[in-house]
Amino acid sequence: MQKPYDDVEALLHLSPVSAMSLLDGVTIEGGTALHVAAAYGESDGFLSSADIIRSKAKRLLFVQNKSGDTPLHCAAQAGMSRMVRHLITLAREENTGVNRAKELLEMENKLKETALHQAVRIGNNDIVKLLMEHSELAIFSKDGTSPLY
């Protein structure tokens, strides 16, 4: 029996055009393959899947679904602390001269909420502590309500 992530590893052997075609698909909620991986697991296989997806389509780390949620929002909402840490690390690894991790952490969904809002809402202290390592998030809120409220 194949492990769930064996099929994702097949992406490594696809041509860039084929991989992009496959990764351009979305769920009915507008979620990408990275949204799904982020929301449904944090085992080594899911973390590896996130790495592979990102290697083929870096932009997916910042794509928002129909609710405005990024993969980071989805991981936080699902209580996937290892995945939250991993997605932040992936954003940090982007060498664009811009603080992509900060940008990802500050992204708001359509309710004007960050991933920290999601973690607070579900009461996951590990994720809250992880996101609070970026203390500016506690007060960050462009137009919405602070997660601390």
What is 103-125 written as a DSSP string? HHHH---TTS--HHHHHHHHT-H
The radius of gyration of the chain from alpha carbons, rounded to an integer in Å, stands at 15
Q: Residue 26: what pLDDT?
A: 86
Q: Residue 2: what pLDDT?
A: 44
In this structure, are residues 75 and 37 in contact, taking their beta carbons and an 8 Å threshold? no
Taking the C-alpha atoms of residue 47 and residue 37, their distance in angstroms, rounded to an integer, is: 8
In this structure, are residues 11 and 52 in contact, taking their beta carbons and an 8 Å threshold? yes
- Lowest mean pLDDT: which of 27-41, 55-69, 97-111? 97-111
In this structure, are residues 72 and 100 in contact, taking their beta carbons and an 8 Å threshold? no
Q: Residue 68: what pLDDT?
A: 97
**6-138 CATH:** 1.25.40.20
- The pTM of this model reads 0.80
